[in-house]
């Protein structure tokens, strides 16, 4: 889907589901809206703060499977009538980097960053890696060269997209108990937990591993005679040290107990340029995984 088709799809979802609210949390450099989906609980019980989960898709332009799977999850979650979503708030930005996504679709398939041009910088090299632009560990495993694919930006939160996400995640964590942050990427079939910027162990690692393994087991199980994808659960720092990512910031700043980066299929054969027939099975696997993961991250 194009960005406009995604926006249309989200508006239709909100129009047909009374539980779904859609709002723009800001504009990009090229003036596109950054859409936030809020799925409200079916039973509003009690007066205490409700548990909430946050999902982010498409912060990297070329990882198209991220948006595709995230949209399918939203569909499932919005129509869920089980106890799974009865009493939680679900927030999701399914396309966090609209400008980059369109550039990847129309001009350079393997584009990763956003499309911002810093007037004081090299005009030939637009774009900041939005997953290096958050403040946590800023500078580690990132580049100060605007022409690099992993350019961190001129300062933490220099970018409109990361500022919009930060502001809204901070608001959510003040009105809810934010229990889970899931940043959806590709590729590699991994479920990473923090930290990514240091080899040190993050708080709650044992619990993140345990819930992550439950996700992976359910995902791998498959259904209707098809085996699911195998996801490895490990620390981000096992991949490479990289800072300024959503998951680490949520963990460090908002003290979210469960923060992950999910790397969707495949394992590398097609890599970022994944044929569209991978979307459906990937979404089914992740949905099975999420149904196991969500109850495990909530307050008992």
Q: Which residues bind ligand 0X9 (CB under 6 A)?
A: 60, 63, 131, 185, 192, 196, 236, 242, 245, 247-248, 261, 263
Q: CB count, 10 Å around CB of 23?
A: 12
**Shortest Å, Cβ 112 to Zn ion:** 7
**Shortest Å, Cβ 78 to ligand 0X9:** 26
Instruction: Give me the phi and psi of 229, to 5 degrees please.
Output: -75, 150
Q: Give the x-and-dash track for 178-207 against Zn ion (CB under 5 A).
A: -------x----------------------
* 67, interface contact from ligand 0X9, Zn ion, none, CB < 5-8 Å by kind: none
Q: The tokens 């009690």 sit on which residue?
A: 46
The residue among 236 and 284 lying less far from ligand 0X9, judged by its C-beta, is: 236
Question: What letter would DSSP give residue 203?
Answer: T
Q: Is 60 in the site for Zn ion (CB under 5 A)?
A: yes
List the beta strands (DSSP E) in the chain.
20-27, 33-39, 51-57, 89-93, 177-186, 190-193, 232-235, 258-264
The residue among 89 and 98 lying less far from ligand 0X9, judged by its C-beta, is: 98
- Residues forming a β-bridge with 90: 39, 53
Pairing of strands 20-27, 33-39: antiparallel
* 196, interface contact from Zn ion, ligand 0X9, none, CB < 5-8 Å by kind: ligand 0X9
3-state secondary structure of 35: strand
**Shortest Å, Cβ 152 to ligand 0X9:** 11
Active site residue ranges: 263
Instruction: Give me the phi and psi of 28, to 5 degrees please.
Output: -90, 175
Site of interaction with Zn ion (CB under 5 A): 60, 63, 185
């Amino acid at each position: 889907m194009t960005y406009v088709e995604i926006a249309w799809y989200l508006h239709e979802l909100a129009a047909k589901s009374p539980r779904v609210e859609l709002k723009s949390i800001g504009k990009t450099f090229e003036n596109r809206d950054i859409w936030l989906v809020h799925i409200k609980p079916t039973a509003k019980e009690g007066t205490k703060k409700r548990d909430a989960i946050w999902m982010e898709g498409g912060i990297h332009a070329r990882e198209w499977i991220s948006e595709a799977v995230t949209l399918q999850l939203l569909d499932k979650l919005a129509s869920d009538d089980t106890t799974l979503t009865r009493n939680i708030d679900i927030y999701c930005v399914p396309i966090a980097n609209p400008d980059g996504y369109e550039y990847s679709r129309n001009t350079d398939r393997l584009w990763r960053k956003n499309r911002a041009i810093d007037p004081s910088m090299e005009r030939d090299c637009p774009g900041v890696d939005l997953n290096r632009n958050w403040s946590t560990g800023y500078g580690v495993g990132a580049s100060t060269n605007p022409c690099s694919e992993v350019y961190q930006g001129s300062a933490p939160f220099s970018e409109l997209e990361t500022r919009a996400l930060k502001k809204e995640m901070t608001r959510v964590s003040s009105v809810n108990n934010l229990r889970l942050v899931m940043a959806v990427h590709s590729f590699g079939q991994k479920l990473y937990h923090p930290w990514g910027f240091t080899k040190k162990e993050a708080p709650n690692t044992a619990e993140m591993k345990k819930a992550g393994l439950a996700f992976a087991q359910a995902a791998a199980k498959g259904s209707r005679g098809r085996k699911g994808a195998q996801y490895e659960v490990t620390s981000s720092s096992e991949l490479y040290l990289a800072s300024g990512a959503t998951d680490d910031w949520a963990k460090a700043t908002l003290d979210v107990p469960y923060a992950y980066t999910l790397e969707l299929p495949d394992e590398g054969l097609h890599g970022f340029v994944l044929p569209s027939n991978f979307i459906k099975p990937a979404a089914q696997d992740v949905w099975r995984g999420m149904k196991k993961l969500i109850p495990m991250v909530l307050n008992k």
